[in-house]
């Protein structure tokens, strides 16, 4: 997925991967870990845990495109925009 933004340096395109860690979600969208895990618990965002059997630690990956869509939907609702 590509995101376009305009800033002081002109128009920029940023490539967003499909899956990412909590720190990637925070980097791309500003959503912190606590809210992210709450959305997962509420079923609003999908994630997958990569942990080998018998291991104490693993990594959880979050669906970044789904998070982007959720944030855009929230923004549209707050601004009174109609979804197409």
| 21-57 pLDDT tens trace | 999 999 999 999 999 999 999 999 999 999 999 998 9
Per residue in 64-81, pLDDT tens? 999 999 999 999 999 887
Q: Would you say how long the chain is, in residues? A: 84
Give the contacts of 36 (CB within 8 A, at least 6 positions apart): 22, 25, 45, 62, 67
Q: What is the DSSP string of 46-78?
A: -EEEE--TT-S--EEEEEHHHHHHHHHHHHHHH
Q: What is the mean pLDDT of residues 17-24?
A: 94
* For the chain, domain boundaries: 17-78
User: Nearest-CA neighbor of 35 among 74, 2, 77, 4?
Assistant: 74
- DSSP assignment, residue 44? S
pLDDT at position 9 over 70: no
């Amino acid at each position: 997925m590509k995101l376009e933004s305009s800033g002081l340096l002109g128009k920029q395109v940023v490539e967003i991967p499909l899956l990412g860690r909590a720190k990637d979600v925070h980097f791309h969208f500003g959503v912190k870990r606590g809210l992210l895990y709450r959305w997962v618990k509420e079923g609003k965002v999908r994630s997958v845990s990569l942990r080998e059997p018998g291991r104490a630690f693993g990594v959880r990956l979050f669906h970044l495109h789904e998070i982007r869509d959720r944030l855009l939907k929230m923004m549209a609702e707050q601004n009174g925009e109609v979804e197409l």
